[in-house]
Structure 1
Amino acid sequence: MQITISFRGKTQKPPVTIDLPEDTTVDDLKKAIYKKIPKYYPDRQRLTFNEKVLQEGKTLNEYEIKNGDTVAFKDLGPQISWKMVFLIEYLGPIVIHPIFYYFKSQIYGEDFEHSKMQEFTYYMIMAHFIKRELETLFVHRFSHGTMPFRNVFKNSFHYHALSGANIAYWVYGPWNASGTSGGERNEWYIWACVAVFVYAQISNFSTHITLRNLRPPGTRVRKIPYGYGFGLVSCPNYFFETVAWFSICVLTNSLAAWLFIVAGFYQMYLWAIKKHKAYRKEFKDYPKNRKAIIPFIA
């Protein structure tokens, strides 16, 4: 059958016609467009028919697209893989925190001894983001392959600025040094915060493994997640992430850390609500007692 591709938006091109077999998938159509116009690789394409976005993995017949129909094309612009986006985001704090921690005399203009609070906070934050990088490389499977490259800068700001430079500058400063009121913490207090942090990180990792095992490699399969954490909320990974950062906030008592957790939780809350609604819409037998992100509350 013949499908006409109509270019929308800023793409100033005349319509093109593509010949395809009857059982063509959306993936096949995108590859055919790419073959005809090499600039527009599949991840860069957004195809719609009757105002419906064509999803990869489905056939054109499922959208009732017939011979002679016209499919609208929109260029999404240069793309970058989600895996690379996450690697760039988490790399920021991994680079920034050691700079503030080890080059304190150059940054603050004086030399001082780090307090136990500063020392433990440093290693907790480094462990958190190194864990994130390793999970990105070896655990996560992404339902969406790419995102617009321009969004990398916006996404990275949250991590590089808020959890990177802002927290590092205020937490590792001389006002929190050993012997100061800002840096003094009881031994039991520090270890209690570390214990909560470790528990939350292990729990967060466990939920990531559960989510990974739901989706076979190279697929976009969606299933109802069950197991540790998922009995209470749809997104326990976000809940445990919040608990981990809450322990850092309590340990440091830093406004910079509280700012990061508030901004981060707000974004995770929006994501959780969206995922929760999507689960309930897609799966008729989705557990009704689950909340989105906070057990028994929201």
Structure 2
Amino acid sequence: MASKPITLQTESRGKRIPKLPPDTSIYVQGSTCDLYDRLSKETGLSASRLRITCDGKPVPNDKKITVGSAGLGSGSKIQVKDLGPQIAWRTVFVIEYLGPLLIHPLFYFLRPYIYTGANSPPSTLQTLSCITITLHFIKRELETLFVHRFSNATMPARNIFKNSAHYWVLSGLLIAYFTYSPTSITAGKGSPLLTYAGLALYAIGELANLNTHLVLRNLRSPGGTERGVPRGLGFDWVTCPNYLFETMAWVGILMINRSWSTAVFLVVAGVQMAAWAKKKEGRYRKESGGKYQKKRFAMVPGVW
């Protein structure tokens, strides 16, 4: 005999949701994903815009978690919040990386129109800077489109401007303006040994970073949100070798162009990645338990 559905009391959290009914019915054996879909139909808002909580605890939108195991029963009161217009994370990353991907070639090829006295051809170091940075962001775009699998489908659309500023302003305008200037240190010849070492470090960092992303991709099924325990190159050293190798690639670019603007971006990005790595270490320990081998360092061996 099939069980009867339970009734959940609903209320808006924050801004009032006009079409939110005072209650909704759902089977206790049904998934919390079903609950989100039901409320989506009732409110006319996409499920990605909704956040459900009960007594301050989040109710995840997950096909593998039942309504009952989420602590909901007949008469439970849930709070429903409208997160506002959403944008797909994949779209966010494409827009973020598009900035520097366009800005660097524009500054490189339009040097005579941007800088006074930029009549001579760009230096070898300026050319290498443009090539390495452009290839880096082409790689990031291709990984976004064909490699990454996201645990969260969307984010608030209003955050796109804040998220894009890091790439469009710091790795785009800041680095480009001071790298392709005729008065930049990059306009000189520099040390061939340092340049070759930078190119080698850049290539190793980019290839190792790609390998890490492929390992992480294979831990999650298409459309899934599960988190596995990653193993492979770099994962025995630190929690997030993708951030380690990303940093290596940018150190290589810094060795090529010697620009203080690149150093500024590297420091800002490094601090942010270090914070993300520390949070991910805590998440691995919490979610994977004994399956996860705790790491002493989150991002840089012997340092952090």
Q: TM-score band, normalised by the shorter chain? A: over 0.9
Please give the alpha-carbon distance, in whole angstroms, between the structure 1 residues aligned to 2:160 and 2:295.
36
- In the TM superposition, 1:167-178 aligns within 5 A as 167-176=175-184
Note if 1:203 corresponds to 2:211: no
Which residue is equivalent to 1:137?
145
TM-superposed deviation, 1:175: 1.2
* CA–CA separation in structure 2 for the residues paired with 1:289 and 1:202: 23
One-letter amino acid of the structure 1 residue matched with residue 122 of structure 2: H
Partners of 1:148 and 1:181 lie apart in 2 by 39
CA distance change for structure 1 residues 182 and 107 in 2, over 3 Å: closer, same or farther? closer
- Gaps (5+ residues) in structure 2? 1-5
Tell me whether 1:25 sits opposite 2:35 in the alignment.
no
One-letter code aligned to 2:233: Y
- Which residue number in structure 2 is paired with residue 166 of structure 1? 174
Q: Is the 8 A contact 1:232 1:296 kept in 2?
A: no
User: Could you tell me which residue of structure 2 aligns to residue 287 of structure 1?
Assistant: 293
Letter in 2 for 1:92: G
The Cα offsets for residues 93-127 of structure 1, whole Å up to 9 and x where unpaired, read as 11111111000111003322211111101100000
Matching residue of 1:148: 156
Indicate whether 1:268 and 2:276 are aligned. Answer: no
The equivalent residue for 2:73 is 66
Assess if the C-alpha contact under 8 Å between 2:208 and 2:245 holds in 1: yes
> What is the rounded CA distance, in whole Å, between the counterparts of 1:159 and 1:109 in structure 2?
26
TM-score normalised over the length of structure 1: 0.95
- CA distance in structure 2 between the aligned counterparts of 1:160 and 1:7, rounded to whole angstroms: 37
**SS in structure 1 of the partner of residue 289 of structure 2:** coil
| Comparing 265-274 and 245-254, the one that deviates more | 245-254
Q: How many residues align?
A: 294
Once the 2 structures are TM-superposed, how far is the Cα of residue 15 of structure 1 from its aligned partner? 5.0
Confirm or deny that 1:6 pairs with 2:15.
no
Q: Is the 2:123–2:189 contact (alpha carbons within 8 Å) kept by the matching residues of 1?
A: yes
SS in 1 for 2:68: helix
Runs of 4+ aligned residues of structure 1 deviating over 3 Å after TM superposition are 12-15
Instruction: Give me the whole-angstrom Cα distance separating, in 2, the residues matched to 1:12 and 1:115.
Output: 59
Task: Tell me whether 1:254 sits opposite 2:254 in the alignment.
Answer: no
Q: Is the alpha carbon distance of 1:107 and 1:47 closer, same or farther for their aligned partners in structure 2, counting shifts above 3 Å?
A: same
Deviation at 1:20, TM superposition (A): 1.6
Alpha-carbon offset, residue 288 of structure 1: 2.8
Q: Deviations over 1:194-248 (max 9, x none)?
A: 1110000000000000000000111111111111110111100001101111111
Q: Partner residue of 1:100?
A: 107
Which residue in the other structure is 1:76 paired with?
83
Q: Which amino acid counterpart does residue 86 of structure 1 have in structure 2?
A: F
Per-residue deviation at 1:297? Answer: 2.6
Structure 1 equivalent of residue 243 of structure 2: 238
Q: Give the TM-score of the pair, scaled to structure 2.
A: 0.93
Read off the aligned partner of 1:18 and give its amino acid letter. T
